[in-house]
Amino acid sequence: MAYDFQVVIDSGDPHPLADWWADALGWQVEAQDESFIRELIEKGHASEDDTTTHNGALVWKAGAAIRHPDGLERAPRVLFQLVPEPKSVKNRAHLDIRAGAGNIEAEVARLTARGAKELHRGRQGPNWWVTLADPEGNEFCVS
């Protein structure tokens, strides 16, 4: 049996990181329903401590998600989840942005201008890639 899945990335500040990745991929940040959040607080199912304000809106503090503009049928959802500890070692899994051989340098320049840091360049036969880190230090490759 096949299952749908989402990718979850730990984050010290999920909402700005979701914004960054949505911009990097050309995806959309999932809207959070402020009235639903307020209703859950009023009913005692959540508290103000479970929320934060991001871009002027009340949102869940615990996370933010992004998705492909064509929906979940096109690509899995990516959830940025709040964790208390900072990133300390290399990721065991990472995302690859497949820009195409002729677009790698331009994509690296665009992403580093937006806060990514270049870590190293790799090559295997005719294929090459650049490993970057997002603003929280999570590694990813542009290939």
Share of the chain above pLDDT 70, in %: 100
Query: What's residue 132's pLDDT?
Result: 98
Q: Does residue 101 have a pLDDT over 90?
A: no
- The overall average pLDDT reported for the chain is 96
* pLDDT class of 2 with cuts at 50, 70, 90: confident
Query: What's residue 121's pLDDT?
Result: 98
Both tokens of residue 131?
């490993």
Q: Does residue 73 have a pLDDT over 80?
A: yes
Name residues whose C-beta falls within 8 Å of residue 143's C-beta, 6 or more positions apart in sequence. 96, 97, 98, 99, 104, 127, 128, 129, 130
Q: Do you know the residue count of the chain? A: 143
Q: Does residue 1 have a pLDDT over 90?
A: no
